[in-house]
Amino acid sequence: MRPAGLGALLAHERARRRRGAVGLLVAAACLGGAAWVTDLDVTRVVDGLPKMGDFLGRLVPPVRLAHLRSDLAEWYWGLGTWLGLLGTTLLMALLATGLGTLGGGPLSFLAARNLSRGWVCWLTRRVLEIARAVPDLVWALVFVFAFGLGPLAGVLAIAVHSLGAQGKLFAEANENVDLQPVEGVRAAGGRWVDEIVYGVLPQVLPNFVSYTFWRLEINVRLATIIGFVGAGGIGVELYDAIALNYIADAGAILLLVVLTVFVIDAVSERLRLALAGLTDGGADGRPAPGRA
Amino acid sequence: MRHPTTRAIHADPGREARLQALLAAGGGLRWRAAVAGAGVAGTLLYAATEFGLLGMQFVDGLGNLGSALVMMLPPSGYDQLPTFGWALLETVAMALLGTALAAALAAPLALLAARTTCPLGILQFGFRRFADSLRALDYLIWALVFVRAVGLGPLAGILAIAVVDLGTLIKLFSEAIDNTPRGPVEGVRATGGRRLDQVLYGMAPQVLPTMVSAALYMWESNTRSATILGIVGAGGIGYYLADRLRVYEWGEASLLILLILVAVYLIDIVASRLRARLIRGA
> Does B224 contact A at CB distance below 8 Å?
yes
Q: Does one domain contain both A172 and A120?
A: yes
> Does B71 contact A at CB distance below 8 Å?
no
Nearest residue, CB atoms, A31 vs list B53, B58, B96: B96
How many Å apart are CA A232 and CA A215, to the nearest integer? 19
Question: pLDDT at position B98, please?
Answer: 92
Residue A189: pLDDT over 80: yes
User: Does A288 map to a domain?
Assistant: no
CB-CB neighbors (< 8 A) of A143 in chain B: 61, 65
Give Cα separations from A26 to A29, A33, B216, B271 (angstroms).
5, 10, 14, 14
CB atoms within 10 A of CB A290: 9
Least confident of A190-199, B16-25, B34-43: B16-25
User: Does A23 map to a domain?
Assistant: yes
* Largest Cα span, chain B: 77
User: Does A264 map to a domain?
Assistant: yes
How many Å apart are CA B278 and CA B280, to the nearest integer? 5
Q: Does one domain contain both A25 and A139?
A: no
A164 confidence band (pLDDT: 50, 70, 90): very high
Q: Does one domain contain both A18 and A83?
A: no
Q: Does one domain contain both A255 and A121?
A: yes
The SS3 of residue B103 is helix
User: Does A55 map to a domain?
Assistant: no
What is the pTM assigned to this prediction?
0.80
Mean pLDDT score of chain A, rounded to an integer?
Answer: 84
User: Does A66 map to a domain?
Assistant: no
> Does A94 contact B at CB distance below 8 Å?
yes
Question: pLDDT at position A89, please?
Answer: 93
A11 confidence band (pLDDT: 50, 70, 90): confident
Least confident of A47-51, B90-94, B213-217, B265-269: A47-51
Nearest residue, CB atoms, B89 vs list A19, A37, A130: A37
User: Does A31 map to a domain?
Assistant: yes
Q: Does one domain contain both A114 and A4?
A: no
Among A208, A225, A65, CA closest to A141:
A225
Q: Does one domain contain both A17 and A100?
A: no
Among B146, B139, B115, B126, CA closest to B218:
B139
Question: pLDDT at position B61, please?
Answer: 85
Q: Does one domain contain both A159 and A27?
A: no
The DSSP secondary-structure symbol of A20 reads H
How many Å apart are CA B88 and CA B237, to the nearest integer? 5
Question: Does the N-terminal peptide bond of residue B74 adopt cis geometry, omega within 30 degrees of 0?
Answer: yes
Residue B265: pLDDT over 70: yes
> Does B137 contact A at CB distance below 8 Å?
yes
Yes or no: say if B97 and B158 are a contact pair by the CB < 8 Å rule.
yes
A4 confidence band (pLDDT: 50, 70, 90): low
Among A94, A90, A107, A106, CA closest to A213:
A94
ipTM for this prediction: 0.78
Q: Does one domain contain both A147 and A247?
A: yes
CATH code of residue A262: 1.10.3720.10
Q: Does one domain contain both A114 and A236?
A: yes
A292 confidence band (pLDDT: 50, 70, 90): very low
- State how many domains chain A has: 2
A103 confidence band (pLDDT: 50, 70, 90): very high
Subunit contact B97:A34, Cβ cutoff 8 A: yes
The B residues from 227 to 266 touching A (CB cutoff 8 Å) are 227-228, 231-232, 235, 238, 241-242, 245-246, 248, 257, 260-261, 264-265
Q: Does one domain contain both A24 and A145?
A: no
The A residues from 196 to 215 touching B (CB cutoff 8 Å) are none
Residue-range definition of the domain harbouring residue A16 = 1-35
Question: pLDDT at position A2, please?
Answer: 52
User: Does A147 map to a domain?
Assistant: yes
Mean pLDDT for the stretch of residues A144-164:
92
Mean pLDDT for the stretch of residues B182-209:
82
Yes or no: say if B132 and A262 are a contact pair by the CB < 8 Å rule.
yes
For an interface test with A, give the residue of B58, B83, B140 to mutate (most A CBs within 10 A): B140
User: Chain B closest CA to A271's CA: distance in Å?
Assistant: 12
How many Å apart are CA B102 and CA B169, to the nearest integer? 7
User: Does A70 map to a domain?
Assistant: no
% of chain A residues with pLDDT over 90: 20
pLDDT tens by residue, A202-221? 888 888 888 898 899 889 98
Q: Does one domain contain both A22 and A167?
A: no
Q: Does one domain contain both A27 and A85?
A: no
